[in-house]
Amino acid sequence: MRRSVWVPFLVLALALLAGLVISALEPMRIRAYALGTPSSKFVADLDRGQEACEGPIRVQTAVGRVRVWGTGTAGRVWAQVIVRNATSRKAIARGWTLVPPIPAAYDAALDSSIPASSTIVVCVAGEGPGPLALLGGAPTHSEILMSLRGKSTPTEFSLVLLDRARRSLLAALPTAFARAALFRFSWTGPWTFWVLAVAFLGTIATCGWAVSAAARADSQAEGTPPKERTAAPPHE
């Protein structure tokens, strides 16, 4: 293998590895919980003071922001997000977000963090000046119920709960592996994903070493002068 052949492959591998490292270090919002209901239709119209709630939801990690999907049907409106204790129904955190007349996802930062292992109900209230429409769809979790103005409905509004602070993907790996371990064979755990990650990086390093070793061997072979042939003595 000539140097001109293996060098582009080695450069490409290093570039891909560098891209993975840079992406893993970029801060991002980590999901603490996602309901999974698609924002495919309008499920609630809230005037000022009216609210829609859904729960109970048990969160495994701390929550600092709430993301809902909606739009102001007559212009920009304010929406208040209220997080309540699922048992006492006491409000434990609040947040506000301005919702334009464009159907999309909007985040509300909570005034206090929801601790891990909490069981909560999330409510969204219209704060005016016009109606607030929430987006959602058919229920995806039978144990989570939505109520509109105090009455149960056969729908759910789309909902995602986020960490308060941004974390890099690399810093979130322990959380990701712990969650992935919930959907596993009985003999696996979070350690399994760490082993697979190390094996993946080891495979990349081994392939790089193999390519470099082959290139060095070819370079040495090309630099070795051919042996001179000696003429065979004539037969007597």
CATH number at residue 74: 2.60.120
Asked whether the beta carbons of 72 and 127 are under 8 A apart, the reply is no
Q: What pLDDT sits at residue 116?
A: 87
* pLDDT tens for each residue of 70-118: 999 889 999 999 999 999 999 999 999 999 999 999 999 999 999 988 9
Q: Are residues 59 and 142 in the same domain?
A: yes
Q: Are residues 88 and 22 in the same domain?
A: no
Q: Are residues 48 and 151 in the same domain?
A: yes
Q: Are residues 100 and 193 in the same domain?
A: no
Please state the three-class secondary structure of 102-133 as a single string: CCEEEEEEEEEEECCCCEEEEEEEECCCCCEE
Q: Are residues 42 and 16 in the same domain?
A: no
Q: Are residues 116 and 211 in the same domain?
A: no
Residues of the chain with pLDDT under 70: 1-14, 16-29, 164-236
